[in-house]
A = this chain, B = another copy of it.
Amino acid sequence: MAVYTDVSVEDLSAFIADYDLGELLSYKGIAEGVENSNFLLHTSGGHFILTLYEKRVAAGDLPFFLGLMEHLAARGLNCPQPVKTRNGTTLGTLAGRPAAIVTFLEGMWMRRPDAKHCAAVGEALANLHLAGADFAMKRVNALSVQGWRPLFENCCDRADGVQAGMRATIEQELAALEKSWPRDLPQGVIHADLFPDNVFFLGGSLSGLIDFYFACTDTLAYDVAICLNAWCFEPDFSYNVTKGRGLLQAYARVRPMSDAELDALPMLARGSALRFLLTRLVDWLNVPPGALVKPKSPQEYFRKLRFHQNVRSVGDYGIAAKELTA
């Protein structure tokens, strides 16, 4: 949570003059999003989110992210919609950074999601996968299996300082995943970061998905595995089969999974756990002095990885495979 770049009233007024948003009434930096600077913007035209893209986001990827949000919103998915200037563009420059304005989504993210929330996320994820099926742009997932070894090499020397035995565990797991990573499963647009803080609820129902800045073209079932990790463990890191069952069942009702996807799910879940373990470990070991963001502990995903290593089949996630196929 941070605002890395502040914006002056004069610069922001000049920026929004290209849009049909009316007069600027207020803007406040919001403490959400660890990659970019976000402002809640109020103009006489309504409420919006202004995002300044910081250096961790590649400028070349922005047309993919903004185009995807437009595409999904046009297909009825409730997500932020890029606002266009009078010239029809969605991407500009503000305070020396690429910047965009998107619509504001009402709703709150659940700090303590329950099984009903997990089912709602499963359903929304499947709808996202279906809505993204005809999105024409592609983006390689830089944080899939081929991206993990460079991360490991960045932090392996100090991993055991975080937790004894972490280095060897990661090294063995990485070798196993590189060897056996499933590459022939159905591909498409995945969100790749659908954690609780990116899912809004209102009045008990899911009201929208946000933060598409890790979205990419990858294995659809890998996105399911990310959600299992992000939603179905308790604060003590124990896996909750009721939540897992709810999530998987709701997903498969909208998009039934193939036998190959279900067979691969434990491996995909291991990979997903390793991906977040590695990025958290790198962040944890590389906190710059005066950092505005408190890194998340890597231990959580070390524990989750251990759990998935002991999973025999999808049944261990709380539901029989036959309930998830068409």
Chain A residues in the interface with B (C-beta under 8 A): 1-3, 6, 8-10, 23-32, 40, 42, 105-112, 200-203, 287, 290-294
User: In angstroms, how far is the closest chain B Cβ from the Cβ of A234?
Assistant: 15
Q: List the B residue with the shortest CB-CB distance to A7.
A: B111
* A-B residue pairs, 3 tightest by C-beta: A29-B31, A8-B111, A3-B31
Are B1 and A3 interface neighbours, CB within 8 A? yes
Are A107 and B26 interface neighbours, CB within 8 A? yes
> 19 extra interchain contacts, Cβ-Cβ under 8 A, other than A8-B110, A28-B30?
A1-B3, A1-B31, A1-B292, A2-B31, A3-B31, A6-B111, A8-B112, A9-B110, A9-B111, A9-B201, A10-B112, A24-B108, A25-B106, A26-B105, A26-B107, A26-B108, A29-B31, A30-B31, A292-B292
Are B111 and A25 interface neighbours, CB within 8 A? no
Are A106 and B26 interface neighbours, CB within 8 A? yes
The answer for the CA separation of A42 and B40 in the assembled complex, in Å, is: 12
The answer for the CA separation of A109 and B29 in the assembled complex, in Å, is: 12
Q: Which residues of B contact A293 (CB under 8 A)?
A: 292
Are B290 and A25 interface neighbours, CB within 8 A? no
Are B28 and A32 interface neighbours, CB within 8 A? yes
Q: Which residues of B contact A42 (CB under 8 A)?
A: 106
User: In angstroms, how far is the closest chain B Cβ from the Cβ of A118?
Assistant: 16
The answer for the CA separation of A218 and B107 in the assembled complex, in Å, is: 44
Interface centre among A2, A27, A108, A203 (most CB of B within 10 A): A108
Given contacts A9-B111, A110-B9, A111-B6, contact A30 B27 (CB under 8 A): no
